[in-house]
């Protein structure tokens, strides 16, 4: 049984972080990084987008 394909839009920061994890040898490919994050994988909190600053009055 194959799993359905999902697409996601990543920020530049998220893309660079995923590429760094793959380059480090910790993961074999970007899909492995994204599969691990919902399981509480180490470092996945860094994939969360930064909070936007509050609007100026």
For residue 53, being part of any structural domain is answered with no
pLDDT at 23: 92
Higher pLDDT, 25 or 51: 25
CB 19 within 8 A of CB 11: no
Residue 35 lies in a domain: yes
Looking at 7-11, 27-31, 39-43, 45-49, which range is the least confident one?
A: 45-49
* pLDDT for residue 57 is more than 60: yes
Kindly provide the b/e burial profile for residues 18-40, where b requires at least 16 CB atoms within 10 angstroms of the residue's own CB.
Answer: beebbeeeebeeeeebbebbeee
pLDDT at 33: 86
Q: Which domain holds residue 33?
A: 12-47
User: Is 31 contained in some domain?
Assistant: yes
Domain assignment present for residue 37? The answer is yes
Tokens for 18? 């995923």
> Does some domain include residue 5?
no
Q: What is the pTM of this model?
A: 0.62
* Domain total in the chain: 1
pLDDT tens track for 10-32: 889 889 988 988 998 888 999 88
């Amino acid at each position: 049984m194959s799993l359905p394909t999902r697409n996601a839009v990543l920020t530049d920061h998220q893309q660079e972080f995923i590429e760094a994890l793959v380059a480090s040898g910790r993961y074999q490919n970007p899909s492995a990084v994204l599969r691990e994050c919902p399981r509480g994988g180490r470092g996945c909190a860094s994939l969360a987008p930064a909070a936007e600053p509050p609007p100026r009055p």
